[in-house]
Amino acid sequence: MGTVKLEPIAPCHLVALPYPGRGHINPMMNLCKLLASKKHDLLITFVVTEEWHGFIGADPKPDNIRFAMVPNVIPSELGRAKDFPGFVEAVCTKLQEPFELLLDRLEPEVSFIVADPFVVWAVRVGNKRNIAVASLWPMSASVFSTLHHFELLKENGHFPADVSVRGDEVIDYIPGISTTRLADLPTVFYDDVQQVLNRALEAVSSTYKAQYLISTSFYELEPHAFDTLRAKLSSPVYPIGPSIPHFEISKGAHDNDLNYLHWLDSQPKSSVMYVSLGSFLSVSNAQMDEIIAGVKNSGVRFLWVARGDASKLKDGVGDMGLVVPWCDQLGVLCHSSIGGFWSHCGWNSTQEAVYAGLPVLTFPIFFDQIPNGKQIVEDWKIGYRVKKKKVGGGDIVTREEIAELLQRFMDVESNEGKEVRKRAKQLQETCQGAIAKGGSSDSNLDAFIKNISRGYS
């Protein structure tokens, strides 16, 4: 007897709802592109605010992905930089109504939602409407586990805690993560913005009611964290990372800057340091002055991505490199002239460095970037710290320290330089194994697609 084939009852219509920020929209679009390439009969509606549609609407995408817009009811990117807690609150309170109105209008009927958990109401909306939801976690599995085990920090007297006094205290009781210092936990645990911590905890707990949890990390990168999550969560957990192919979010806006690629072509192999210190939270003016002078004095070649007014940077940094407003980051990281990545350690950048097999100079600023930097240096041993958050303040790193560190970081001939690059290449191979056909991430993606396809052609 042959197997019974289910006839299609309607095209499977998936709605993707990213959090409105670059580090969240990129992985959501990467996932959608992967889904669209593996399942051609899937229709995907990618929901963004009008502002973000302006940034990304013209970018190439497969035919079965379309954009839908909700009005700009939340602060702009600029507003987000000025008042991050206010921005988080607006996403949590003002976007739901226009999103639900959109859901009512969309055709064909929506059969599935993939949502960023930092859009904290998304799972609730899906459950209310009987639409299955997958939460796409946009940070590391270790950060998920840390937030999930928040109560342990309280029980052990580490929350609340003054990090400027107790930052070196050891935390070795969070399941799935390696021993860490208090100062290497996500900043939400100690930066006195209780509101953002509450929303982050809400984001994690919203995933418990989702039907699936998708992670942008890959299993081999954080096996203990994933084993822990799988043991504790009732819904299936699918690590499908790293989050690539890269989505060139601002293509069009900076087309004229492709000169950087020609410049890179003319540089010696592994000689250029790529610098990107974050997309919306910047460092203090005093620290930036030290960084600029340190880069200049080091004599190291660089390609530096800096948004906003970069005139001070361009004037001060010397002539060993280029300063550009935007670039195709993954393309740059994979260029043979690049020998190291000075990064703010956003989770996407972290994974892109792993994918490209590069050592990282860590300069985390905020939230999950701090533990990401710790994992890079201490767990995977593919990087150097620019600074270790000092107990008792005094956080400025001097130009002399920076110049010396950059020379050390970009020295590919030293034993230390060879060792760190060897480990970065090994991790790159593991990463490529995960996304290759039949690898862990590829298989997880197939399993997820099988689940959401039930009942559809």
Compute how many residues bind ligand UDX; rule: CB under 6 A. Answer: 24
- CA angle, corner 107, sides to 101 and 110, nearest 5? 75
The whole-angstrom separation of Cα 188 and Cα 118 is 14
Q: Which of 75, 117, 126, 138 binds ligand UDX (CB under 6 A)?
A: 138
361 scored as a contact of ligand UDX (CB under 6 A): no
Q: Which residues contact 151 (CB under 8 A, 6 or more apart)?
A: none
Interacting residue with ligand UDX among 330, 358, 360, 406 (CB under 6 A)? 330
Residue type present at position 352: E
- 199 lies in the binding site for ligand UDX (CB under 6 A): no
Cα distances from 225 to residues 126, 186, 238, 280, 446, in angstroms, run 27, 16, 13, 28, 22
Q: Which is nearer to ligand UDX, 217 or 228 (CB)?
A: 217
Q: Is 139 in the site for ligand UDX (CB under 6 A)?
A: yes
Contacts (Cβ under 8 Å, ≥6 apart) of 324: 254, 257, 260, 303, 304, 305, 306
Q: Is residue 369 involved in binding ligand UDX (CB under 6 A)?
A: yes
By 3-state DSSP, what share of the chain in percent is helix, strand and coil, each rounded to 5?
45, 15, 40
> Contacts with ligand UDX in 90-119 (CB under 6 A)?
none
Kindly state the tokens that stand for 30: 């990467």
Kindly state the helix (H) or strand (E) to which residue 113 belongs, with its residue range: strand 112-115
Q: Pick between residue 349 and residue 440 the one whose CB is nearest to ligand UDX.
A: 349
23-31, 88-96, 199-207, 230-238 -> range binding ligand UDX (CB under 6 A): 23-31
What secondary structure does DSSP assign to 278-320, as a single string? -SS----HHHHHHHHHHHHHHT-EEEEE--S--HHHHHHS-SS
DSSP letters spanning 124-148: HHHHHTT-EEEEEE-S-HHHHHHHH
Q: Work out whether 373 is an interface residue with ligand UDX (CB under 6 A).
A: no
Residue nearest to ligand UDX (CB): 23
Using CB under 6 A as the binding rule, whether residue 26 contacts ligand UDX is answered as yes
Is 456 an interacting residue with respect to ligand UDX (CB under 6 A)? no
Beta carbon nearer to ligand UDX, 137 or 456: 137
Min dist CB 344 to ligand UDX, Å, is 6
Nearest to 31 by CA among 71, 68, 63, 61: 61
Q: Which stretch binds ligand UDX (CB under 6 A): 95-103, 184-192, 292-300, 341-349?
A: 341-349
> Is there binding between residue 187 and ligand UDX (CB under 6 A)?
no
Per CB under 6 A, the list member of 368, 375, 402, 444 interacting with ligand UDX is 368
CA distance 158 to 143: 16
Each residue 296-325 as x (binds ligand UDX by CB under 6 A) or -, in order, gives ---------x--------------------
Main-chain phi, psi angles of 48, to 5 degrees: -135, 160
Region label for 192, one of left (φ > 0), alpha (ψ between -120 and 50) or beta (otherwise) = left
Residue 207 is a binding residue for ligand UDX (CB under 6 A): no
Task: Give the one residue of 22, 33, 39, 296 binding ligand UDX; rule: CB under 6 A.
Answer: 22
- Name which of 339 and 346 has its Cβ closer to ligand UDX: 346
**What is d(CA 12, CA 21) in angstroms, rounded to the nearest whole number?**
27
Residue 207 near residue 130 (C-beta atoms within 8 A): no
Among 49, 211, 298, 329, binds ligand UDX (CB under 6 A): 329
Task: Name which of 125 and 305 has its Cβ closer to ligand UDX.
Answer: 305
Instruction: Work out whether 375 is an interface residue with ligand UDX (CB under 6 A).
Output: no
Query: Which residue of 239, 340, 346, 371 would you call a contact of ligand UDX, by CB under 6 A?
Result: 346
Is residue 80 part of the contact set for ligand UDX (CB under 6 A)? no
Residue 276 engages ligand UDX in binding (rule: CB under 6 A): yes
| Contact criterion met (CB below 8 Å) for 60 and 29 | no
Quick one: DSSP state of residue 163?
A: H
Binding residues for ligand UDX (CB under 6 A): 21-24, 26, 138-139, 246, 276, 278-279, 305, 326-327, 329-330, 346-349, 352, 367-369
